[in-house]
Chains A and B, each alone.
Chain A
């Protein structure tokens, strides 16, 4: 066992974990934050995207021990005082989801996308979503949701 300490959504957690415990399982099963999803489990679908030390990463492809000391934000940390994050609001306003399974990962990726490119073209957004799969929407309203968030600056 190894001891890990990390800050998730502003709260510090310390736990003993097996080195082989994946970060996504730590977040879901140990911390109980089940908004981060396991989709493909092979780092292709992006449902497990979180923010780790300022970077959007797929946490099904790293171990919890590798996040020792890290600062993490998950979908549960996006809203503040009950008010949706502008990207969440964009998904709400544009109906950017159907089943919702991919949505947390989409939002966590969109945050990085807009941070690096605050005024993306539709093509920039579609390219930027390369690592996130949605099986319901055909991406149309997801793109609109991100455009909606971008327009609010």
Chain B
């Protein structure tokens, strides 16, 4: 499959990339690892006139401590995240989910920022950044801004990024002590995309779930928080029965999608099952 013709730019700084984006605007696409955009270009579902490649913008590839949490540059690859001692020790749920994305080759090249900006409804890390209440930092050549992940994802393949903006950083705020996290998914056998994926974080103190955060991907048109399930478990003991009750509410508010891979009814079922599994594992790792 051969994409349409385009003009190619390989900036080496963020400022240069932002200037190019301001100049070419709506007819330009920004490419990160390319594992979402290039297949779309090959199928001619996307035909940008200008391709701005962030591959050479080294300043966007980093994982560093930031205000008690971690800041991850948008061009950081999945492999760099899954193999980072800092991520493994501070946000093991992110390392766990990242190691389940696609396959080794894709993780060698695909980036967290590319995945976020693409906003695929079946991407894994969208569920994780929602559960971690990440901040998405972006910038144009004129201004920078930051917004919480739950406001960043608008709809299928749609974020609040403006035409002249580039996602630059994913900021993960510190989680409370005594928190356990887990990501569980039912993966498509060929692509390894999540038919349903659930990221859960549970903070247990005094034998009670003090704080619960759940992000769900794959089920609906875009990843979302499962607030009804979170509320159902907060303030309760982490018993099998309480977890099952909360998991039963994980699908509330989701407009379940049907496609060739799974029906809406099946996705609703998977959501309950995988919410329960993620919560059980998070609980076992908490305290």
Contact = CB atoms under 8 A, between A and B. Distances in A.
Interface in B1-26: 1-8, 10
A49 to B, nearest CB: 6
B212 interface: no
B108 A56 contact: yes
How many of chain B's residues touch chain A, expressed as a range?
20 to 34
Nearest to B4: A20
Contacts of B6: 19-20
A113 B58 CA distance: 26
B79 interface: yes
Interface residues of A, number: 29
B104 A113 contact: yes
Given A41-B1, A112-B104, A130-B104, A65 B79 contact: no
Nearest to A45: B190
A94 to B, nearest CB: 21
Contacts of A43: 35, 38-39, 105-106
Contacts, number: 77
A131 B106 contact: yes
A63 B33 CA distance: 11
Nearest to A112: B104
Nearest to B50: A19
Interface string A51-80: 000011110011101101000000000000
A56 B105 contact: yes
B34 interface: yes
Interface in B151-168: none
B7 A19 contact: yes
Contacts of B39: 42-43, 61
Given A19-B7, A55-B79, A68-B10, A62 B103 contact: no
Nearest to B187: A130
Contacts of A41: 1, 42
Interface of B: 1-8, 10, 34-35, 38-39, 42, 51, 53, 55, 79, 102-106, 108-109, 190-192
Given A58-B109, A130-B192, 13 more contacts: A22-B2, A41-B1, A41-B42, A43-B106, A44-B191, A46-B103, A57-B105, A57-B109, A65-B53, A66-B34, A68-B10, A128-B104, A131-B103
14 contacts: A19-B5, A19-B8, A19-B51, A20-B3, A41-B42, A56-B105, A61-B109, A62-B38, A63-B8, A63-B51, A112-B104, A112-B108, A131-B106, A133-B190
User: Which 4 residue pairs of A and B lie closest in terms of their CB atoms, listed nearest first?
Assistant: A131-B103, A19-B8, A55-B108, A130-B103
Interface of A: 2, 18-20, 22, 41-44, 46, 49, 55-58, 61-63, 65-66, 68, 109, 112-113, 128, 130-133
